[in-house]
């Protein structure tokens, strides 16, 4: 097997990683090297300021580079706040968040259409996160219910997850986003654990859906171009 060129900085969690989740090796059609950042819980990164533990991410990223990775990504969209600091500290291409797709997607959409965001925590996703990802600060955002099946499993770090209930919550949130923001014709999933539900969201809404999977497949394609 080829040496992984992509390294992923993982939060320290135990919740399930179904196929399609960033942390499931079967999600990727290429080898990926994972490195858990000690103490980086979902709560510390989403509900608090991840810049408080920047040094831990730098150390973990440097470990991946020492192991041969030529590009680094993270497993949480809220880490867009670390984009500038980490790319400078690591000295290699760094992809902090699926939110970085927003600007590119909007260049693809017809005039008058916009991309919107589904996030695990609408209250926590600020204009600063969007700006750090190169997106419009007024991008339309919808979140999942804090006490719902998905958010509670992630923030409480449960070992089990009700996938059917999570799927229903994703579809509800996507529908709510489109109703509140009629210009939204494409959806970006902030949370890297939402990707398993992307196809269900597209089927329900008719909108293209972009996730960490679309993002890192693109990112990796530049790190390790295919031979023809």
Domains in the chain: boundaries:
6-97+214-223, 98-211
Record the pTM: 0.96
Nearest residue to 77 via CA among 218, 217, 224, 216? 216
Q: How far is CA 129 from CA 14, 29, 63, 84, 117, in A?
A: 25, 29, 26, 12, 12
6-97+214-223, which class in CATH? Answer: alpha beta
E strands in the chain? 6-10, 32-36, 71-74, 94-95, 114-119, 141-143, 184-189, 209-210
- The alpha-carbon radius of gyration of the chain (Å, integer) is 17
Residue 36 phi, psi (nearest 5): -80, 135
Eight-state DSSP code of residue 184? E
Q: Tally Cβ neighbours within 10 Å of residue 91.
A: 10
Judge contact between 12 and 36, C-beta under 8 A. yes
Query: Fold identical between 6-97+214-223 and 98-211?
Result: yes
Is CATH 3.40.50.1860 the classification given to domain 98-211?
yes
Q: What is the b/e burial string over 106-120, where b = at least 16 CB atoms within 10 angstroms of the residue's CB?
A: beeeeeeebbbbbbb
pLDDT value, residue 51: 94
Q: Tally Cβ neighbours within 10 Å of residue 51.
A: 12
Tens of pLDDT, residue by residue over 146-164, are 999 999 999 999 999 999 9
pLDDT value, residue 4: 81
**Residues of the chain where predicted confidence (pLDDT) is lower than 50:** 1
Eight-state DSSP code of residue 46? I
Q: Tally Cβ neighbours within 10 Å of residue 177.
A: 22
Q: How many angstroms separate the CA atoms of 116 and 135, rounded?
A: 10
pLDDT value, residue 202: 98
Q: How many angstroms separate the CA atoms of 72 and 93, rounded?
A: 6
């Amino acid at each position: 097997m080829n040496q992984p060129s992509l390294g992923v900085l993982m939060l320290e969690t135990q919740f399930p990683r179904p196929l399609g989740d960033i942390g499931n090796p079967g999600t990727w059609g290429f080898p990926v090297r994972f490195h858990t950042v000690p103490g980086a819980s979902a709560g510390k990164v989403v509900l608090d300021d991840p810049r408080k533990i920047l040094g831990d991410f730098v150390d973990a990223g440097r470990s991946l580079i020492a192991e041969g990775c030529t590009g680094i990504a993270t497993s949480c969209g809220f880490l867009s706040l670390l984009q500038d600091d980490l790319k400078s500290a690591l000295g290699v291409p760094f992809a902090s968040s699926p939110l970085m797709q927003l600007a590119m997607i909007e260049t693809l959409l017809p005039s008058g259409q916009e991309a919107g965001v589904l996030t695990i925590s609408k209250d926590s996703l600020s204009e600063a996160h969007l700006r750090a990802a190169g997106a419009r600060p007024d991008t339309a955002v919808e979140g999942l219910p804090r006490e719902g099946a998905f958010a509670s499993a992630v923030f409480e770090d449960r070992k089990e997850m009700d996938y059917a209930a999570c799927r229903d919550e994703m579809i509800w949130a996507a529908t709510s986003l489109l109703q509140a923001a009629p210009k939204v014709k494409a959806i970006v999933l902030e949370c890297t654990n939402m990707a398993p539900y992307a196809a269900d969201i597209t089927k329900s809404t008719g909108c293209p859906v972009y996730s960490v999977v679309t993002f890192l497949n693109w990112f990796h394609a530049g790190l390790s171009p295919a031979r023809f």
